[in-house]
């Protein structure tokens, strides 16, 4: 009898960039070519050395993120994917994504990605206004983005995400609308759009400017209007909002990210990369030198999740998705109904109109209402046990 393999996602962290953007608090920094080569060598060693641990799994998605993975020579990305294909059971129709920034790719690089098996691009536009891009510290112009997008389409990419941001310094409602409309005027339109509102993170250039009174952020009302316009404009154009910050054309949701939100097992490779396998969470060291010297001995912060922690994660991750949390799946997994575990919290938020139960052909789901999506962090925090 054939044993059904479990599904697994792979994430690769490339922590390098041309220059750190003014808003960025990710684990990334500029680097030398020597550091790149040493890091990629360690990444290959980690990937090959861990393969035996995951022979009972089928890899259903691969995501190469950063940083700016597209500053790595394309041969390195091709080798990474070759090892995945040779050492892991890669599903034939696996989603394989790489993040790219305009200004770091050309025809040859994109063509090599395509030939290596990359079938989804995530392009970091952020804004169609060059003045705003300059304030963000981005290394590209809107015109360079157009060139990158056009090249990708010409070379055969049929699944492209575009990142945009709102509530930027100096941005107003008109300039944000202009960014959205310019993205929607692309031919063909991107299959996926990620729309994030700027959060000023500690330790960034923006945080320093804010402390010095030099950061001209939109007021709360303007930020609110931008948020509302995102949904209105994108949904009118035929996109559906399937997660708090993500919109897609029908059937083009990011499968890899949906795996995170539904707690599918995933393994992260590279510095700072997090993993969740069979309800065990762990992550790799943040120290570049230590990782390069010891890629197979760099795991830390191992946490075996209790049943309560699994329930918490099921709720605060699952409620990020507009489909919500399946009542039947919760009952089957935990042996208790949602109302048995969270009855008081659910009743309170049903009464205030922040949550609702919705039936579809797959069963009953608990989901955030439109009003609930607006205060999602508040609602989701109530599902944490004291």
Q: Note if the pTM is more than 0.75.
A: yes
Q: How many CA atoms lie within 13 A of 344 on its CB side?
A: 4
* Structural domains of the chain in order of their starting residue, each with its CATH number: 6-260 (3.20.20.70), 323-386 (no CATH)
What are 12's strand-pairing partners? 64, 269
Find tokens 């079938």 and name the residue: 119
Pairing of strands 280-284, 299-304: antiparallel
Residue 20: predicted pLDDT: 87
| Alpha helices by DSSP H, 190-254 | 205-211, 220-236
The vertex-175 CA angle with 21 and 219, nearest 5°, equals 80
pLDDT digits (tens, 9 = 90+) for 336-386: 999 999 999 999 999 999 999 999 888 999 999 999 999 999 999 999 997
Find tokens 């100096």 and name the residue: 170
314 vs 110: CA distance, rounded Å: 37
pLDDT digits (tens, 9 = 90+) for 51-104: 999 999 999 999 999 989 999 999 999 999 999 999 999 999 999 999 999 989
Residue 188 preceded by cis peptide, ω within 30: yes
Alpha carbon dihedral 242, 248, 253, 257, in 10-degree steps, equals -70
Per DSSP, the residues of 46-65 read HHHHHGGGGTTEEEEEEEEE
Residue 134 preceded by cis peptide, ω within 30: no
Q: What does R_g of the chain's alpha carbons equal in angstroms?
A: 21
Residue 19: predicted pLDDT: 86
Residue 2: predicted pLDDT: 58
Quick count: other Cβ atoms within 10 Å of Cβ 290? 14
Query: Which sign, positive or negative, has the C-alpha torsion 123, 128, 130, 136?
Result: negative
Find tokens 């575990």 and name the residue: 341
Residue 3: predicted pLDDT: 66
Contact indicator for 332, 369 with CB cutoff of 8 Å: no
| Mean pLDDT in consecutive groups of 10 residues from the start of the chain, 386 residues | 83 92 86 92 98 97 95 95 98 97 95 97 97 95 97 98 97 97 98 96 92 93 95 98 97 98 97 96 96 95 94 97 96 96 97 95 94 94 91
């Amino acid at each position: 009898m054939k044993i059904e393999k479990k599904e697994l996602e792979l994430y690769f962290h490339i922590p390098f960039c041309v220059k750190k953007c003014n808003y960025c608090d990710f684990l990334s920094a500029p680097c030398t070519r020597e550091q790149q080569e040493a890091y990629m060598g360690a990444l290959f060693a980690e990937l090959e050395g861990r393969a035996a641990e995951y022979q009972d799994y089928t890899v259903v998605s691969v995501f190469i993120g950063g940083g700016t993975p597209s500053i790595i020579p394309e041969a390195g990305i091709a080798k990474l994917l070759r090892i995945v294909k040779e050492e892991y059971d890669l599903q034939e129709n696996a989603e394989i994504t790489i993040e790219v920034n305009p200004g770091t790719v050309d025809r040859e690089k994109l063509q090599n990605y395509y030939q290596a098996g990359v079938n989804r691009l995530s392009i970091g536009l952020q804004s169609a206004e060059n003045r705003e891009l300059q304030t963000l510290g981005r290394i590209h112009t809107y015109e360079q983005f157009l060139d990158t997008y056009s090249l990708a389409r010409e070379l055969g990419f049929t699944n492209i995400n575009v990142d945009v941001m709102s509530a930027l310094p100096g941005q107003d409602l008109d300039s944000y609308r202009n960014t959205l409309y310019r993205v929607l005027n692309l031919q063909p339109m991107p299959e996926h759009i990620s729309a994030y509102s700027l959060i000023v993170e500690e330790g960034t250039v923006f945080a320093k400017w804010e402390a010095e009174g030099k950061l001209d952020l939109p007021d709360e009302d303007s930020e609110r209007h931008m948020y509302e316009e995102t949904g209105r404009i994108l949904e009118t154009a035929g996109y559906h909002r399937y997660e708090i910050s993500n919109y897609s054309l029908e059937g083009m949701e990011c499968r890899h990210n949906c795996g995170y939100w539904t707690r599918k097992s995933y393994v992260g490779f590279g510095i700072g990369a997090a993993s969740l396998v069979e309800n065990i969470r762990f992550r790799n060291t943040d120290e570049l030198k230590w990782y390069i010297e010891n890629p197979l001995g760099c795991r830390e912060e191992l946490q075996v999740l209790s049943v309560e922690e699994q329930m918490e994660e099921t709720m605060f991750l699952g409620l990020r998705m507009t489909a919500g949390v399946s009542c039947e799946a919760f009952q089957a997994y935990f042996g208790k109904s949602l109302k048995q575990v969270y009855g008081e919290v659910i009743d309170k938020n049903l009464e205030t109109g922040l949550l609702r139960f919705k039936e579809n052909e797959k069963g009953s789901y608990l989901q955030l209402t439109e009003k609930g999506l607006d205060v999602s962090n508040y609602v989701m925090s109530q599902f944490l046990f004291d």
